[in-house]
Structure 1
Amino acid sequence: MIRIGILDLQGDVSEHFQIAQKALENLKVEYQVLNVRNAEDAALCDGIIISGGESTVIGKLMVETGIKDIIINNEIPVFGTCAGMVLLATKTDYQQPLLRLMDMKVKRNAFGRQKDSFEQEIEILGEKYTGVFIRAPAVDEVGDKAQIISKIDDIIIGVKQGKNMALAFHPELTEDTRLHEYFIKEVL
């Protein structure tokens, strides 16, 4: 049985929970999707999804609850979207707690404020996909260990490193399960 945790501290938790369930059903594997609110919950997971929200708040709560240490010490793969992308970075343009699991520097709110949100067809992992961007970050730099998997023009919006994946957009706000399935296959 695979256990996928949805970090439940702040952000698009219910949307990720629902699409993760659909992705796991599509993959026809025995599964459990868990809400992760503390270190004990995190320790049960084979992979964790960190949703959009306010990355500074999520980062501080991950430290306070001990979730950050569990993810790092247990080497739990993480799929981060929007704020989750920021938290996976080694560096960002703002002083805040980070997981530092991916060799990249991220700029918060790179596409502007809430009113500048947009949807755009993108290419990721060789396939077309609808990207939903809400106060989205972007990657300024990637190191040797990280692999760019998606861009808009010259702006990096998707990165993979090992079993970790970071996206600037919100795949949980679509009905398309392919990116969640991709992450789950990495965890399996």
Structure 2
Amino acid sequence: MIKIGILNLQGDVSEHQAMTEKAIRKMNLEAEVMKVKTALEVTECDGIIISGGESTVIGRLIEENGIDEIIKENKIPVLGTCAGMVLLGQETDYQQPLLGLIPMKVKRNGFGRQKVSFEAELELEMMDNPYPGVFIRAPYVSAVKNKANIMGQIHDKIIAVAYENHLATAFHPELTGDTRIHEYFIKEVLNCVE
């Protein structure tokens, strides 16, 4: 049985937990979803989800609690959404702690402030049908390298990237009724534990 941890430091933690549990039911899997705050709790997880919020604060707490080291040492797959996308990057336009798990450069608040939030039907590489993207103070990726896969774009802005067993999205999949992003990530976690 796999364990998916929702990093419980800030952001849409409960929404991610509910969506992950819904995806697990839909996939008919034996799996546990748990909120995690400490490095010790993270060691028990087969996958980690980092939600939206303030990436500087989340990054600092990840670093202070040694969670970054545990994720890297144990090669734990990570789904990062919004602020989580920023944290997964190797570079951003602001001085802050980063996990650096995906070779990409991320522009924080790339689509503008809160009032510029929007929704869009997205064409994503891993899906046959459009996906409902919810963007809130969203970042975007300005550059990728080292075989990082661009999974979706809006015009010239990259809004989804996959690399190894990690997935980063500029949008909030936990705020839709669509479980496909979480299902995709769960499959990546399963690939790592088999």
- With the shorter chain as reference, the TM-score category is over 0.9
Q: Which residue of 1 aligns with 2:189?
A: 187
- The one-letter code sitting in structure 2 at the alignment partner of 1:180 is H
- The one-letter code sitting in structure 2 at the alignment partner of 1:121 is E
- The residue correspondences of 1:1-188 to structure 2 (distance < 5 A) are 1-124=1-124, 125-126=126-127, 127-188=129-190
Displacement after TM superposition at 1:144 (Å): 2.4
Structure 2 residue runs of 5 or longer lacking an equivalent are none
Give, in whole Å, the separation in 1 of the partners of 2:141 and 2:172: 15
Q: Secondary structure at the match of 2:59?
A: helix
Structure 1 residue runs of 5 or longer lacking an equivalent are none
Displacement after TM superposition at 1:145 (Å): 2.2
**Cα deviation 1:33-85 (Å, max 9, x = unaligned):** 01110001100000000000000000000011111111011110000000000
Give, in whole Å, the separation in 2 of the partners of 1:155 and 1:63: 29
- The one-letter code sitting in structure 2 at the alignment partner of 1:149 is M
Q: Secondary structure at the match of 2:40?
A: helix
Number of aligned pairs?
188
Give, in whole Å, the separation in 2 of the partners of 1:159 and 1:73: 22
User: Deviating runs (4+, > 4 A) in structure 1?
Assistant: none
**Identical aligned residues as a percent:** 62
Displacement after TM superposition at 1:153 (Å): 1.1
RMSD: 0.7
Give the TM-score taking structure 1 as reference length.
0.98
Give, in whole Å, the separation in 2 of the partners of 1:66 and 1:3: 20
Give, in whole Å, the separation in 2 of the partners of 1:34 and 1:71: 16
Give, in whole Å, the separation in 2 of the partners of 1:82 and 1:55: 9
Give the TM-score taking structure 2 as reference length.
0.95
Give, in whole Å, the separation in 2 of the partners of 1:130 and 1:48: 23
